[in-house]
Amino acid sequence: MLLRLGYRTAKTAGLYLVPSKMDKLYLLTIGAVGLCLIIKYYRRKRFEQKKRTSGYLECHSLDDFENLAKEILLPHRFNYFNYQVGYGCTYQASREYFNRHLKIIPKVLTDVSEMSLQTTIFGNPIIIAPTAFHRLAHYDGEWGTAQGATNAESIYIYNWSLSTVSVNDVLKTKGPKWLHVYLSSSKALLEQCILLAEQQSFKAIVVTCDHPHERVQSIHRPAFIRAIERKQDKTMKEILYTPNTNIARLKADERLDDHTPNEKLTWKEFQWLRTLTKLPIICKGILSVDDAKLALEYGADGIVVSNHGGRQVDSGLSAIECLKDIVEFVNGRCEVFVDSGIRTGTDVLKCLALGAKGVLIGRPILYGLACGGHNGVEAVLNLLKQELMYDMASCGLKRIEQINERILYKYRQ
């Protein structure tokens, strides 16, 4: 076998040898080296497959999920998910505010034997944020994300425009879902979205309002195109050049253009959307009291305090530092949620203490999906829930409604 393998290798390399004892020894050596390389290749392939299917079991923090996803994913895929605008100042500001400005005060010798994360919004306050192109993380795509959310009893916000799995497949999972849309989509498509949401029992509409330019697309589209041209990424080709199965009559070359930012959008478009449905509409991307006031005036039933994960503007405000002012201004007139930079159950507790009804998790869900499909998504959500419960117990809290700002040293005075 080694001799045959060595002969084939030599022939492939263009080496034509006259049969002799030395040549046979040489071919045996080549064959042995080739066999070792083949064994190494398949061992490596098995190891990588194991990481993709069960690596999440060895992840004990969201940083572990991110690091494993970086090993598993093709560079242009990971870079798209992990993108932070400019020098990453906005994203880092979120992490710094969580870690340096919000300190928790424990409460000892309190009975916490019967704890619950139950909330009025369903299951628990941890929600999956709307993100794009889930099949770039795992072949199961949005179905895997939805199934993980169902298993962990969390709400999944399905991105209508930039999904890679049809809405019918996603709806085969049983958990509650909200539908996400962009105002920049055509009115005909938005009307179709709203009709679908009502017919398929989506519980709310989430509208991204902080997306006035093409910065993210302009940076990553060239890398996507290069990967396709070099035949490095078949899935990417399917995503970019196959019409979105959610949207009837959408041409292939409009795959990414259906949500292309429209610089002319105003609150009038939001108000028009409000007239289409009685479903709750949640405005995502608010960072100021002024915009929160406008959101209420134009009919928002909920607000997501968000800086888009630090992907839109550098040196921007962190969502967590804006949260308290917006909650106080709203004063119960609508539900307030928050996202951007949340990486631990401790972060979730701090958000709830400042008045958020729930938190949206984006990138870590994609990393979990990359590391283990729907099991990885479930693992990320369960990790956050477990950390939240540990910290609630440390603060002497049994239920979500008991959480308030008095557990934070900054507001205890």
Binding residues for FMN: 130-132, 208, 284, 306, 339-343, 362-363
Are 335 and 355 a contacting pair, CB within 8 Å?
no
Contact between 66 and 344 under an 8 Å Cβ cutoff? The reply is no
167: Cβ contacts below 8 Å, ≥ 6 apart? 158, 160, 196, 200, 246
**Beta partners for 127?**
360
Residue 11, classified by CB atoms within 10 Å of its CB into exposed (0-12), middle (13-18) or buried (19+), is exposed
Annotated binding site for glyoxylate: 80, 182, 215, 308, 311
In DSSP terms, 232 is beta-bridged to none
Q: Which two tokens stand for residue 338?
A: 């928050």
Q: Which residues contact 264 (CB under 8 A, 6 or more apart)?
A: none
Is residue 315 within 8 A of residue 89, CB to CB? The reply is yes
Distance CA 200, CA 337 (A): 24
Tokens 């990481």 correspond to what residue? 51
User: What residues are designated binding site?
Assistant: 80, 130-132, 182, 208, 215, 284, 306, 308, 311, 339-343, 362-363
Angle of helix 289-297 versus helix 319-330 axis, rounded to 10: 50
**DSSP of 203-215:** --EEEE----S-H
Candidates 138, 180, 308, 374; catalytic one:
308
- The tokens for 115 are 């704890």
Residue 281: strand, helix, or coil? strand
Are 128 and 155 in contact by the 8 Å Cβ rule? The answer is: yes
Residue 107: how many CA atoms within 13 Å on its side-chain side? 15
| Residues in the chain, overall count | 413
101 part of the active site: no
C-alpha angle with apex 184: 235 to 155, nearest 5 degrees? 65
| Cα 386 to Cα 55: distance, rounded to the nearest angstrom | 19
Measured distance CA(165)–CA(406) in Å, rounded: 44
Is there a contact between 208 and 180 (Cβ–Cβ < 8 Å)? yes
Residues involved in catalysis: 308
